[in-house]
Structure 1
Amino acid sequence: MDTVKPTTGHPKGLYSLFFTEMWERFSYYGMRALLTIFLTAELATGGFGLDRAESLKIYGVFTALVYLTPILGGWFADKVLGQRKSILIGGLVMAIGQFMLAASAAPDLLGDIEARKHFFYLGLGVLILGNGFFKPNISTIVGDLYDNDDPRKDGAFTIFYMGINIGAFLSPFVAGTLGEKVGWPYGYFAAGIGMLIGVLWFYARRNTLEDKGLPPGYKEKGIAHLLPKDWRDVILYVIANVAFVFLVMMIWNNTSDAVHSVMVWVLGIAGALFIGSSIFKGTSGSTEWTRVFVILILAFFNIVFWAGFEQAGGTFNLFAQENTNRVVGGFEIPTTWFQNINPIAIVTLAPLFSILWVKLSARKLNPRTPVKFALAMFIGALAFFIMTQANNSAQGGNLVSPLWLVVVYVLLTMGELMLSPIGLSMVTKLSPGKITSIMMGVWMASFALGNYFAATLEQILQTYNFDLYPFITWLMLASGVSLLLLSPLLNKFMKGIH
């Protein structure tokens, strides 16, 4: 006899994934809070002494690639590994990457600055690859816990999003403060420990996931857990990931700029063909194709939002350090603590948004996904209008009130809640079943481009005498209007999915 799925409350598996993601984000955001200020810190303090443009470029390339590798990780999960093994592999690889960063930040350990830089870039590469296996697959399992028409699904992703931001809240206090005030290696080491805790928690709570995320074919065979051979695969893939990054770096360091350009173009074209082929093979019928089209259109607008939002770890971080009066009552607020405003706002507001969507849905007033995206753009435009005023006030070396950044971060958080958890939920609803993880990887790729533009826009715009913050203001405003105009067509193409 079939059992009726509950329509209130959430499965235990959601909370297992919640805490796993919380510790992974603790690890990532702890490292991110330190990255630009570590790179620009003087050599005498253990930093690398890079200039603003170079540090932002490294930040941009890193955060872009962090969101590109999920395409590869999504494919391996869909076709070979399943989501559970991919998450374990990714988590262990990222922990190794964090420990490599810790070693690179310790002059007494490695000594020579070139050796430290080599180890630093190796650590970043390992983090990038590990994230690819972890990031898309944990979101996919969250989606698999619910049917597409389950009214709890959007709320579940909002709760999951709280886990992300609790981790992001704790990490600047712990990893950020340790790195900035005690020593850079301690901050990165704390981030690595956080990632290991996440992996151990995921392993301990594996039974709450029931049959979700297992390797392809296991469900059909009645296998409800990972087998001994799967654990061997996890170890082999971890070793292979680190070895692959080492090999790529060795080739990169021993070849010319011309070869580098060819490598980038070949990888880019191969990646685009791979994505296109996977989507083409995994999509059939007009309903699936129009839904895939909606994902791709909304991914384009996602790039715009994150090109603005991700100023948080780049220009906002440097603005906090260079242009903000951080002394309150004789205490100087560490720069990394400003990264806490976003997660505090998320944890405070996410439950309210989760309740709001359910209440509006009950009254048949819940906005469709494209309209929520448009609202996010309008809120983002307001945030960057305010940031423009703050930047104008800081001209001439003036130190401005920290409240400017507080208001901007809170507004962008509200926009994020209108867009990011809704986007994750939307991808799991609209994706054809065979390529859900691939489409989640495509969605993550839109974050990649957003992050890259976030770090490079300032330098690009300076060439054309455009100011960064006013440009983003108008870009987001235009995007919001475009989404409202497109929403009737997109709603039609979603074929009944809200």
Structure 2
Amino acid sequence: MSDKNKAFFGHPIGLSTLFASELWERFSYYGMRALLVLFLTATFASGGFEMAELDAFTIYGIFTGLVYVTPIIGGMLADKVLGQRKSIYIGGLTMAIGQLLLASSAWLHGADVDVELRKTLFFSGLGILIAGNGFFKPNISTMVGELYDNNDPRKDGGFTIFYMGINIGAFLSPLVAGKLGEQVAWQYGFLSAGVGMILGTVWFFVRSHTLGHIGMPPKVKAERVRLIIKDWISILIYVVGLVGLIFGVIVGWGVLPSAVSKTIIYVVAIGGTLYLLSSIFKGTSGKTEWSRVGVILILALFNVFFWSGFEQAGTTFNIFARDNTQRMVGNWEIPATWFQSINAFYIVAFAPLFSILWVKLDRVKLNPSTPQKFGLGMTFLALGFVIMAIAFSKSTSGEEVRLVSPLWLGMVYMFHTWGELSLSPIGLSMVTKLSPPKLVSTMMGIWMGSWAAGNFVASQMKAISIRLQDLLGMEIQVFWLIAIQSAIIAAILFLMAPMLKRMMHGIK
């Protein structure tokens, strides 16, 4: 039986290729993400940079935010110039280089090396990861959508299975990279993340024949299903150009006057926004298409609030696991990074159940609409933060810290996982259904831009709670703040759901 005629859990065989490629890419990303705040706040002697907690949170937020901004550019380039397949190779190879630079910045700590050089390598590595992710992330998700027709009832299930691949990688990476980085040496954690990225790119190459014509460059004839030498040369040029550009920006940025650097940021932001709006305007026609684009933009705004809560996993939850959680089992200490595998474990456990649930509900005409599923997601998020707020209160009494059971974090992650499964894979599927045909990758980039905003806001939530506390003269616990915010957003979504459903014009 040929690959073309095989199925993957009742889905197109090409899903298996994208599933495994994304698994290894997420192994790479979540491995370094689990280490990032802990590495930045670690002592110079251990290889870290001894940063203050809130400064580390800000760097984490800028990084995790920008990895979802660059997909806007990567999506547009794929739509207009490269195609998804070339973009994925560019992104994979570039991100592997970025991870190796992070490893080198930690490796050199014991040598007679200037700290500024280490920081240059580190921030260049982050920048290169950001750039590479912009090419990889939106386009592999877009290719999943292209495996199905818009009203294929398997489509949401396909994205949920794809989401399992993401979370198998996210489960394994803190166990491997977290253990190596936290308890052996930071460089080995980052190095393992780089190896994961290389494996994902190699798998995509070996199994690309299962994708047929999907993802090929624009205007390429339908019978062509493989890249040619000219394509590979352009991939190499992009990779070298991106690495050189990021190094140049990191080195040059520090010597620019503050006024000049701020002007550049404003010009790029305004110019990029105008170009994006222009692309949407040119690629959208008719009342129905505009209405559907409107749904994407409205739900993207609500998506920011979801991720501003959910992404506490890498900041406040990470610190809570390190400082407030009982992690000793006999004489063995559980690495704090391992708690970031809990969410991914729950995803793998519950994703098949949610995938089956949506199909069964659809058969009896009780399947919630996409906006209602978003409301469910925000509700679960709010409940998780109520539990987290109670756990934090139990662990702090005046100046004393009392270590609490790890089961508290386990419960929080369970509710947050249910919220994620109700919202995130559904959002990815929605974008591929509602986007105008010429703008699928561009709209996927915009969707991931809402993740970017959510990630950055997440990094600032503790600082916001501190400012509110100073302003109001009363204690504001960050976890209660997010719980209340999430509950309000959930209520708004349920109220708006009927209107948003009408704006989708028949797309489920």
> TM-score scaled by structure 1?
0.97
User: How many angstroms does 1:264 deviate by?
Assistant: 1.6
Distance 2:33 2:8 in 1: 38
**Alignment RMSD:** 1.6
Q: Percent identity?
A: 57
- Once the two structures are superposed, residues 8-28 of structure 1 have per-residue CA deviations (whole angstroms, 9 ceiling, x without a partner) of 811110000000000000000
User: What residue in structure 2 maps to residue 335 of structure 1?
Assistant: 336
Distance 2:200 2:48 in 1: 28
Counterpart amino acid of residue 359 in structure 1: K
The question of 1:64 aligning with 2:60 is answered: no
User: What residue in structure 2 maps to residue 441 of structure 1?
Assistant: 445
Matches within 5 A, 1:286-305: 286-305=287-306
Question: Is 1:103–1:110's contact at 8 Å kept on the other side of the alignment?
Answer: no
Question: Is 1:33–1:176's contact at 8 Å kept on the other side of the alignment?
Answer: yes
Distance 1:496 1:56 in 2: 42
The question of 1:217 aligning with 2:233 is answered: no
Matches within 5 A, 1:117-196: 117-196=119-198
Distance 1:81 1:479 in 2: 38
- Once the two structures are superposed, residues 26-79 of structure 1 have per-residue CA deviations (whole angstroms, 9 ceiling, x without a partner) of 000000010000000011111111110110010000000000000000011000
User: What residue in structure 1 maps to residue 472 of structure 2?
Assistant: none
- Once the two structures are superposed, residues 329-383 of structure 1 have per-residue CA deviations (whole angstroms, 9 ceiling, x without a partner) of 3321100100110010000000000010111111111100000000111111111
The SS at the match of 1:212 is coil
**Structure 1's 236 and 109: CA in aligned 2 closer, same or farther, altered over 3 A?**
farther
After TM superposition, the structure 1 stretch with the greater mean CA deviation from structure 2, 274-283 or 22-31, is 274-283
User: What residue in structure 2 maps to residue 260 of structure 1?
Assistant: 261
Distance 2:452 2:361 in 1: 32
Distance 1:406 1:332 in 2: 17
Unaligned 5+ segments in structure 1 are none
The question of 1:400 aligning with 2:410 is answered: no
User: What residue in structure 2 maps to residue 279 of structure 1?
Assistant: 280
User: How many angstroms does 1:111 deviate by?
Assistant: 2.2
Distance 2:93 2:6 in 1: 34
Distance 1:278 1:110 in 2: 50
The question of 1:424 aligning with 2:425 is answered: no
Distance 1:283 1:87 in 2: 26
Number of residue pairs matched?
495
Distance 1:258 1:321 in 2: 39
Question: Is 1:218–1:224's contact at 8 Å kept on the other side of the alignment?
Answer: no
- Once the two structures are superposed, residues 408-448 of structure 1 have per-residue CA deviations (whole angstroms, 9 ceiling, x without a partner) of 01110110000000000000000000010000000000000
Question: Is 2:6–2:12's contact at 8 Å kept on the other side of the alignment?
Answer: no
Distance 1:459 1:144 in 2: 41
User: What residue in structure 2 maps to residue 485 of structure 1?
Assistant: 495
Question: Is 1:104–1:110's contact at 8 Å kept on the other side of the alignment?
Answer: no
Matches within 5 A, 1:87-102: 87-102=88-103
User: How many angstroms does 1:219 deviate by?
Assistant: 3.6
Distance 1:30 1:224 in 2: 33
User: How many angstroms does 1:109 deviate by?
Assistant: 5.5
User: How many angstroms does 1:460 deviate by?
Assistant: 2.1
Question: Is 1:67–1:444's contact at 8 Å kept on the other side of the alignment?
Answer: yes
User: How many angstroms does 1:193 deviate by?
Assistant: 0.5
User: How many angstroms does 1:472 deviate by?
Assistant: 0.8
The question of 1:410 aligning with 2:414 is answered: yes
Distance 2:35 2:358 in 1: 35
**Structure 1's 115 and 295: CA in aligned 2 closer, same or farther, altered over 3 A?**
same
> TM-score scaled by structure 2?
0.95
Counterpart amino acid of residue 137 in structure 1: N
User: How many angstroms does 1:470 deviate by?
Assistant: 1.0
Matches within 5 A, 1:73-84: 73-84=74-85
User: What residue in structure 2 maps to residue 20 of structure 1?
Assistant: 21
User: What residue in structure 2 maps to residue 251 of structure 1?
Assistant: 252
The SS at the match of 2:67 is helix
Unaligned 5+ segments in structure 2 are 470-475
Distance 1:112 1:411 in 2: 45
Question: Is 1:148–1:429's contact at 8 Å kept on the other side of the alignment?
Answer: yes
The SS at the match of 2:10 is coil
Counterpart amino acid of residue 356 in structure 1: L
The SS at the match of 2:506 is coil
Counterpart amino acid of residue 427 in structure 1: V
**Structure 1's 46 and 258: CA in aligned 2 closer, same or farther, altered over 3 A?**
same
The SS at the match of 1:150 is coil
Moved over 3 A (4+): 4-8
Distance 1:292 1:474 in 2: 29
After TM superposition, the structure 1 stretch with the greater mean CA deviation from structure 2, 393-402 or 473-482, is 393-402
- Once the two structures are superposed, residues 57-115 of structure 1 have per-residue CA deviations (whole angstroms, 9 ceiling, x without a partner) of 10000000000000000011000000000000000000000000000011146722111
